[in-house]
Amino acid sequence: MWRQRWLEAGEQLASAEAKAVSDKQLRKMIENILSDVPRPGTPKFFRVEQVVQIVAIACEDPKKSQRPVSHWTPTELAEEAKKRGIVEKISPRSVGRFLKGSYSTTSSSSLLVKH
């Protein structure tokens, strides 16, 4: 794929070089030629700040939020995040992904209770 892009851009690059464009402009052209194209799929739905706030809730005692559980579950965290206005909607699965993806140095186990 990369070779094909490079070959297809050969004339364009040679022309730019013949016109004596600046190194900066030539570099920008090469970066554009070889950069990744947009990937399919939905864009990120949650901002980093929202994820951080949800992880912070997971570090709190659920009883402080008047939750009738001793440990957070993905469902309880999702509901609490919506209740606090951090997110408009979120699935328990998304919450679980956020917490599994965190690189905590304090524990190798999940922050949530398994169902």
Higher-pLDDT residue of 65 and 110 is: 65
Q: How confident is the model at residue 106 (pLDDT cuts 50, 70, 90)?
A: very low
pTM of model > 0.95 = no
Identify whether the C-beta of residue 46 lies closer than 8 Å to the C-beta of residue 94.
yes
Q: How many CA atoms lie within 13 A of 33 on its CB side?
A: 18
Identify whether the C-beta of residue 78 lies closer than 8 Å to the C-beta of residue 94.
yes
Higher-pLDDT residue of 31 and 109 is: 31
Give the per-residue pLDDT at 114.
56
Span 24-28, average pLDDT: 90
Residue extents of the structural domains in the chain: 2-34, 48-100
Rounded to a whole number of angstroms, the distance between the first and last alpha carbons of the chain is 45
